[in-house]
Structure 1
Amino acid sequence: MNPRDFIDKLAPIATEDMRRYGVPASLTLAQAILESNWGKSGLTQQANNLFGIKGTGPAGSVTMQTTEYRGQTPYRTNAQFRKYNNWQESVADHTKLILNGTKDKPNRYHGVLWADYKTAATEIWKGGYATDPNYPNKLIAVIEQHSLYQYDVPNPKEVERVNMEQLIAELKDARKQIQQLITSLATVLKTTTEQEHTIRELNKRLKKLESLHPENIPIWAEPAVKAAQEAGILNDPAGSYDFYRMVTLMHRMGLIPK
């Protein structure tokens, strides 16, 4: 199986596992790649064991030779490894080990849960998963070389926190917009009030102007003024609006002789 096919087959399993339990998919993939040599190791071929987990599995166990370390010194030894019916069982057992740890230290691998891939690679080694001192660097190199971090999914709690922060920001923005609308409305009301005041003042000035002398005789007063002039009772036709109203009234009442 080539690397692309290996990743395509295992990535959906690792991603779903992360959604349910928080074990980074990138870590699951990288460990499977290192431990199984892209699925080509004898342990994977014979036992579907992707992670080199020792003991007895759902399908029993197999004895294989493995490399261990004392400090910086490697040595070869035989050990019993778990056997599985398929890769899903292997991933599930890997997750179970991380979640439950060991009897003496149940939380030994909890540092990897929902962690970024670099932290997870270090924490899995600190928990004692492997004795190789370069194990974290090897995991990180595989993850970065094949961009396995793209399969990691966000922590639901982190997603909830981000969503809450976005909601708070939106509420603050909405409140700001409402305040701006209130300010705009107040400005409009103030402007309307000022305009009403201006109109009242203009009406007052218009009434005053009506009582002043117009430049020309109003059309409606022309017949009365002409009659008064012909009757010889009006020499100067200039006057105020009140004067023209009075002359027009006299004319209509027949008080101006013909």
Structure 2
Amino acid sequence: MTETIKPRSGDKVANYVEQFKEVAMKEMKLYKIPASITLAQGILESGSGFGRLSVEANNHFGIKCHSAWTGERIYHDDDEDQECFRKYVSPDYSYRDHSLFLTQRKRYAGLFKLDKDDYKGWAQGLRKAGYATDKRYPQKLISLIERYELYQYDAIVLGNPVKTYSETTTSTDTTQRHIVKSGDTLYGIAKKYNITVAQLKTFNSLKSTTLSIGQVLIVKPISKDF
């Protein structure tokens, strides 16, 4: 039986990231593909989970059937009319097949020589290896990664400190952020940064005390001169 996931309303991209970040990090641990790249590709290829292939076939990466595919399939107009695409029982299978697709093909072998957090190198390399025909594909991936700070998930897997894109590109942004780890609570985080739980909830527009691993919390907002 095919399991389809109905996308949530609101910020489509942010919701997609929240829904699939754990899967992307798991795949990174197993197959050494940056979680940031996996998420950005999923967002772009699936239309944040709203595209026909993702909704009807759980295909989040636009992977076509090719000759070796023996599973279910769906037909969809792409470079040519009614091309054959793979159909999966759930999005998790699509994520796993994406990992296998990249690791089992020689044309992508050079990507695995890059640093595990080199998302720019991966974005450029995917295009050069023929994953996509769009000349702007690397820029689209990089833009998504930096806008939604997807590189933080690479850092979590690698155990590295996280710097936000705004902090690395401007000295006037004094925002401080905390990446939620296992065992973190709002009270503990607030105490660590010498703020109240109420302030922490206000900074992040939180309506509950529920946290998820990898969640980014603002613990000191941008200072403004009036």
- TM-score calculated relative to the size of structure 2: 0.59
Higher-RCO chain (CA-CA 8 Å, sequence separation at least 6): 2
Unpaired stretches in structure 1, ≥5 consecutive residues: 69-75, 160-258
Check if 1:62 corresponds to 2:66: no
- Range 113-122 or range 51-60, more displaced: 51-60
Q: Is the 2:117–2:151 Cα contact (8 Å) retained in structure 1?
A: no
Change (3 A) 1:106 1:124: closer
Aligned partner of 2:96 in structure 1 is: 92
Relative distance call for 1:127 and 1:27 in structure 2 (3 A) is same
Q: Distance in 2 between matches of 1:133 and 1:111?
A: 23
Question: 1:129 aligns to what?
Answer: 131
Return the match for 2:118 from 116, 119, 124: 116
3-state secondary structure, aligned to 2:84: strand
Runs of 4+ with >3 A deviation: 56-59, 108-113, 153-156
Residue 116 and residue 24 in structure 1: after superposition, are their counterparts in 2 closer, same or farther (change >3 A)?
same
Q: Is the 8 A contact 2:117 2:155 kept in 1?
A: no
Q: Residue 81 of structure 2 aligns with which residue?
A: 77
Aligned ranges 1:147-162 → 2 under 5 Å = 147-153=149-155
Structure 1 residue 39, shift from structure 2 partner:
0.3
- Which of the residues 59, 68, 79 maps onto 1:49? 59
How far the C-alpha of 1:132 sits from its partner, in A, is: 0.7
Q: Does 1:20 align with 2:30?
A: yes
Letter in 2 for 1:137: Q
Q: Give the Å deviation of 1:5.
A: 2.2
The structure-2 alpha-carbon separation of the partners of 1:154 and 1:94, relative to structure 1 and needing over 3 Å to count, comes to: same
Letter aligned with residue 131 of structure 1: T
Larger gyration radius, structure 1 or structure 2: 1
CA contact (8 A) 2:117 2:154 kept: no
Higher helix share: 1
Measure, in 1, the Cα distance between the counterparts of 2:41 and 2:149: 14
Cα contact 1:59–1:85 (8 A) shared by 2: no
8 Å contact kept, 1:11–1:29: yes
Q: What secondary structure is seen at the aligned counterpart in 2 of 1:143?
A: helix
* CA spacing shift, 1:113–1:50, aligned 2, 3 Å: farther
Structure 1 residue 154: Cα displacement? 7.0
1:113–1:99 Cα change, 3 Å: farther
Q: Are 1:35 and 2:48 counterparts? A: no
Q: Which amino acid aligns with 1:126?
A: K
Does the 8 Å CA contact 2:14/2:148 hold for their aligned counterparts?
no
Q: CA RMSD in A?
A: 2.4
Pick the aligned partner of 1:141 from 136, 143, 151.
143
- Establish whether residue 6 from structure 1 lines up as the match of residue 22 from structure 2: no
Matched letter for residue 141 of structure 1: S
Q: Which amino acid aligns with 2:142?
A: I
> Could you tell me which residue of structure 2 aligns to residue 163 of structure 1?
none
Using the size of structure 1 for normalisation, the TM-score is 0.52
Q: In structure 1, what is the Cα distance between the partners aligned to 2:149 and 2:108?
A: 31
Equivalent AA in structure 1 for residue 37 of structure 2 = L
SS in 2 for 1:133: coil
Taking the aligned partners of 1:138 and 1:19, their CA distance within structure 2 comes to 24
